[in-house]
Amino acid sequence: MFFCLRLYPNDTNTLSKLIVHYLKSDPERANLLAQKLPSIKQLAEGIDADMIESTFGKRVPKAEKTVEK
């Protein structure tokens, strides 16, 4: 995983998995790595909460299945 982080330093998915791994064996190291994650505020930028709330619970119709003959 370290190799992936060296290639892709902004890969938060890999970083978060590494943090979970370290939580069991080295909590101090996990805490240091967690500080590299973006804040919730940064992650929430560009998300339209009103749009999400207005569509919550609405069903999106599934595409019709076509059967080839």
Beta-carbon count within 10 A of 29 CB: 14
Nearest-angstrom CA–CA distance, 67 and 57: 30
Two structure tokens written together for 46: 């560009």
pTM for this predicted structure: 0.58
Contact 29, 22 (CB under 8 A): yes
Nearest-angstrom CA–CA distance, 35 and 27: 13
Can you give the pLDDT of all 69 residues of the chain as single tens digits?
666 767 777 888 889 999 999 999 999 999 999 999 988 888 888 888 888 888 777 666 666 656 665
How much is the pLDDT for 64?
60
